[in-house]
């Protein structure tokens, strides 16, 4: 068994003392069942080749961009707009009579003169053209770095446009430089959706035995949401809104009327889940639709939440039907992948979500990390303490109570919710570290240099990565799959998605291409140099 501490020491060894001290906090070896603390969500050291993106990417690219029937205008240079155009593969379809603008890239194409004289007028003109040409339900405006630097008031432009055209125009001040990663952009997007969209359209109360859900933190990458909803619909659930994959503006406006929020990606949308619970009394449950076992557990948990006998029965029937359709093929790919090892380095949730699925095809994850996860994504978060109520208000189905100037509406009796919280992942999340085996490595904000050391030392068969590191890994002769966009494949969620992933992974690992690739350490002479009189081999 490889001594992981030695691998980590080797990574840290090359750094100057200050950098080493910083990076040390972000790297750990899991050597017991304890959950150690990890440094996360802090600024990347300048000069290090990080894989992180920016605040604008997190707001426009991730959370707002997938809403299908809005025109999403990027106020900034064309490059920023181009960057967030289509590469994420968040798919969407227009609903009956609806519109879908996902294939367009709308930008104000800021030029030097706009930087000098201000870009507000150009933005107002862009909104006017968008309304006249496309007549969308709503418009978003996302700010890029220069907008904040020159002080264009996009909030005012948006307000004026709203008055003039009578449609919602949401302005996001998500300049790229805000915060330390995409994460700040998620938060900005969540806040505005909550403040200005969610709760603005009411739908009648669900009929008896109608079980309604929202899926939060699911962006329909490669069609994941379609596969998840197919199974949920088959069991009998109605999905009101998926935030924000494949959703229309009005779905999101109505989402407060559903019964339960399911949270797939905790990192990008926990804020909305929390705020909906506080404002509308709808609990949230952590789910994982990736992998057969995770999918089945998730479906069982949802059924248990509602506690309806028919629903529980239908859930079991659908699970067995779906599994029986794929188990032979999964077993075949498992034979091909059994005993191989994987590394996962993806944004803020997938490095955790995919470990179960990899396990189902016989692969252990030996190193994992997030680009921008927070400490709770790594270490987990406990049940958020309940709103404390007077004894006589317990057991009442629908009440409104005032606490800390907030109104809480309770949909299910508090004592039932309290019981359920003991059995189900309601308002709680087990972090990535919890699920990793011992003698594995967890690295936050992994950089290219550290990736190279880890790959050379541990030679995994699979590296789940992004566009920035994929090819440097493949040049080392290791199969690397983009876990953001699934390269050109998908869906990977749900049962049918699990087979797609298993098939792609088995094929990727076994392609003969790797035997033609000679990794650099086999053909290049080692570089030697002298550091303060000490012979140093790199």
Interface residues with ligand HCA (CB under 6 A) are 53, 57, 61, 87-88, 182, 347, 466-468, 482, 484-485
Q: Find out whether 324 and 296 touch, Cβ atoms under 8 Å.
A: no
484 near ligand CFN (CB under 6 A): yes
Shortest-Cβ-distance residue relative to ligand CFN: 347
Residue number with CB closer to ligand CFN (72 or 122): 72
Question: Taking the complex as a whole, how short is the minimal distance between the CB of residue 485 and ligand HCA, in angstroms?
Answer: 6
The answer to the question of residue 62 lying near ligand CFN (CB under 6 A) is: yes
Quick check: helix, strand or coil at residue 517?
coil
Site for ligand CFN in 199-218 (CB under 6 A): 217
> Which residues inside 71-100 make contact with ligand CFN, applying CB under 6 A?
88
- Shortest distance in whole angstroms from residue 87 CB to ligand HCA: 5
CB of 522 to ligand CFN, least distance (A): 32
Q: Tell me the pairing of strands 528-531 and 534-537.
A: antiparallel
Q: Which of 57, 161, 265, 506 is catalytic?
A: 57
3-state secondary structure of 172: strand
Picked from ligand HCA, ligand CFN, none, the partner binding residue 349 (CB below 5 to 8 A depending on kind) is ligand CFN
176 binds, among ligand CFN, ligand HCA, none (CB under 5 to 8 A by kind): none
Angle subtended by helix axes 17-24 and 4-13, to nearest 10: 140
The residue from 56, 101, 219, 492 that contacts ligand CFN (CB under 6 A) is 219
Q: Which is nearer to ligand CFN, 220 or 440 (CB)?
A: 220
Look at the block and give the residue holding tokens 């404002």.
Answer: 279
Toward ligand CFN, which CB reaches closer, 60 or 267? 267
Active site (annotated) includes residue 375? no
> Are residues 343 and 7 in contact, defined by beta-carbon separation less than 8 angstroms?
no
Binding flag, residue 172, ligand CFN (CB under 6 A): no
58 binds ligand CFN (CB under 6 A): yes
For residue 426, give the DSSP letter. B
Please check whether residue 369 is in contact with residue 414, taking contact to mean a CB–CB distance below 8 angstroms: no
Q: Which is nearer to ligand CFN, 41 or 182 (CB)?
A: 182
Is 409 noted as a catalytic residue in this protein?
no
Based on CB atoms, which residue is closest to ligand CFN, 257 or 447?
Answer: 447
Q: What is the DSSP string of 434-476?
A: HHSPSSEEEESS-BHHHHHHHHHHH--SEEEE-HHHHHHHHTT
Residue 468 contact among ligand HCA, ligand CFN, none, beta carbon within 5 to 8 Å by kind: ligand HCA
361 near 290, Cβ under 8 Å?
no
Catalytic site residue 267? Answer: no
Q: Which does 267 bind (CB under 5 to 8 A by kind): ligand HCA, ligand CFN, none?
A: ligand CFN
Give, in degrees to the nearest 5, the angle at Cα 279 between 277 and 284: 10
Contacts of 318 (CB under 8 A, 6+ apart): 231, 234, 235, 299
As measured in angstroms, the least distance from the Cβ of 360 to ligand HCA is 24
* Stretch of residues binding ligand CFN (CB under 6 A), selected from 227-235, 263-271, 398-406, 494-502: 263-271
- Write down the least CB distance from residue 54 to ligand HCA, Å: 7
Shortest distance, CB of residue 425 to ligand CFN, whole angstroms? Answer: 17
Q: Which residue of the set 26, 75, 89, 186 is catalytic?
A: 186
What tokens appear for 281 in the block? 């009394």
CB contact at 8 A, 429 and 310: no
Q: Does 350 bind ligand CFN (CB under 6 A)?
A: yes
CA pair distance 158, 194, nearest whole angstrom = 17
In contact, 448 and 472? CB cutoff 8 Å: yes
- Residue nearer to ligand HCA on the CB measure, 259 or 371: 371
With CB atoms as reference, the residue minimizing the distance to ligand HCA is 466
Closest CB to ligand HCA among residues 219, 408: 219
What's the rounded Cα separation, in Å, for the pair 459 and 341? 8
Chain position carrying tokens 């690295």: 443
What backbone torsions phi and psi does residue 449 show, to the nearest 5 degrees? Answer: -65, -50
Of the pair 256, 484, the CB lying nearest ligand HCA is at: 484
By a kind-dependent CB cut-off of 5 to 8 A, residue 268 interacts, out of ligand CFN, ligand HCA, none, with ligand CFN
Interatomic CA distance for residues 303 and 312, integer angstroms: 5
Residue spans of alpha helices (H) in 45-119: 55-56, 78-83, 112-117
Q: Catalytic annotation on 513?
A: no
Which residue in 54, 130, 258, 454 is the catalytic one?
54
3-state secondary structure of 107: strand
* Residue closer to ligand HCA (CB basis): 183 or 315: 183
Among 142, 229, 257, 268, binds ligand CFN (CB under 6 A): 268
Q: Please check whether residue 316 is in contact with residue 302, taking contact to mean a CB–CB distance below 8 angstroms.
A: no
Chain length of the chain: 538
Q: How far apart are CA 261 and CA 243, in angstroms?
A: 10
Active site residue ranges: 54, 57, 88, 186
Residues that bind ligand CFN (CB under 6 A): 58, 62, 88, 182, 217, 219, 221, 265, 267-268, 346-350, 484
């Amino acid at each position: 068994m490889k001594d992981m501490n030695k691998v980590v020491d080797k990574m840290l060894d090359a750094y100057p003392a200050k950098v080493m001290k910083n990076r040390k906090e972000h790297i750990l070896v899991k050597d017991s069942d304890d959950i150690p603390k990890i440094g996360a969500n802090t600024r990347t050291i300048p000069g290090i080749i990080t894989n992180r993106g920016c605040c604008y990417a997190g707001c426009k690219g991730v959370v707002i961009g997938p809403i299908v029937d809005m025109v999403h205008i990027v106020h900034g240079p064309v490059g920023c707009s181009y960057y967030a155009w289509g590469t994420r593969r968040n798919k969407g379809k227009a609903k009956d009579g609806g519109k879908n603008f996902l294939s367009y890239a709308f930008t104000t194409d800021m030029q030097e003169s706009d930087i000098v004289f201000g870009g507000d007028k150009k933005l107002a003109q862009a909104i006017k053209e968008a309304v006249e040409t496309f007549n969308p339900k709503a418009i978003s405006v996302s700010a890029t770095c220069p907008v904040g630097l020159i002080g264009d008031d996009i909030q005012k432009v948006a307000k004026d446009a709203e008055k003039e055209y009578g449609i919602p125009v949401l302005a996001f001040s998500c300049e790229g430089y805000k915060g330390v990663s995409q994460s700040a952009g998620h938060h900005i997007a969540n806040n505005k959706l909550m403040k200005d969209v969610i709760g603005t359209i009411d739908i009648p109360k669900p009929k008896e035995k109608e079980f309604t859900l929202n899926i939060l933190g699911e962006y329909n990458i490669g069609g994941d949401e379609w596969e998840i909803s197919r199974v949920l619909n088959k069991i009998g659930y109605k999905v009101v809104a998926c935030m924000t994959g494949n959703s229309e503006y009005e779905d999101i406006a109505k989402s407060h009327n559903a019964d339960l929020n399911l949270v797939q990606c905790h990192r990008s949308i926990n804020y909305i889940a929390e705020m909906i619970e506080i404002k509308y009394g709808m609990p949230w449950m952590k789910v994982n639709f990736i992998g057969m076992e995770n999918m089945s557990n998730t479906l069982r948990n949802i059924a248990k939440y509602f506690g309806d006998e028919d629903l529980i029965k239908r859930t079991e029937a659908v699970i067995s039907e779906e599994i029986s359709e794929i188990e032979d093929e999964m077993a075949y790919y498992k034979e091909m992948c059994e005993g191989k090892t994987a590394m996962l380095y993806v944004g803020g949730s997938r490095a955790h979500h995919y470990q179960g699925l990899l396990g189902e095809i016989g692969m252990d994850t030996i190193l994992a990390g997030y680009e921008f996860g927070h400490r709770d994504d790594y270490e987990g978060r406990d049940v958020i303490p309940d709103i404390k109520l007077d004894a006589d208000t317990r057991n009442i189905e629908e009440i409104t109570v005032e606490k800390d100037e907030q109104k809480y509406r309770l949909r299910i009796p508090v004592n039932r919710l309290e019981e359920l919280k003991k059995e189900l992942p309601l308002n709680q999340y087990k972090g990535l570290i919890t699920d990793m085996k011992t003698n594995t490595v967890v690295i936050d904000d992994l950089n290219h240099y550290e990736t190279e050391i880890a790959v050379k030392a541990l030679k995994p068969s699979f590296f789940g990565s992004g566009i920035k590191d994929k090819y440097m890994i493949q040049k080392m002769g290791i199969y690397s799959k983009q876990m953001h966009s699934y390269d050109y494949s998908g869906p990977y969620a749900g049962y049918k998605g699990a087979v797609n992933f298993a098939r792609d992974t088995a094929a990727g690992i076994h392609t003969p291409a790797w035997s033609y690739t000679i990794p650099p350490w086999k053909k290049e002479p080692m570089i030697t140099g002298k550091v303060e009189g000490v012979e140093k081999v790199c």
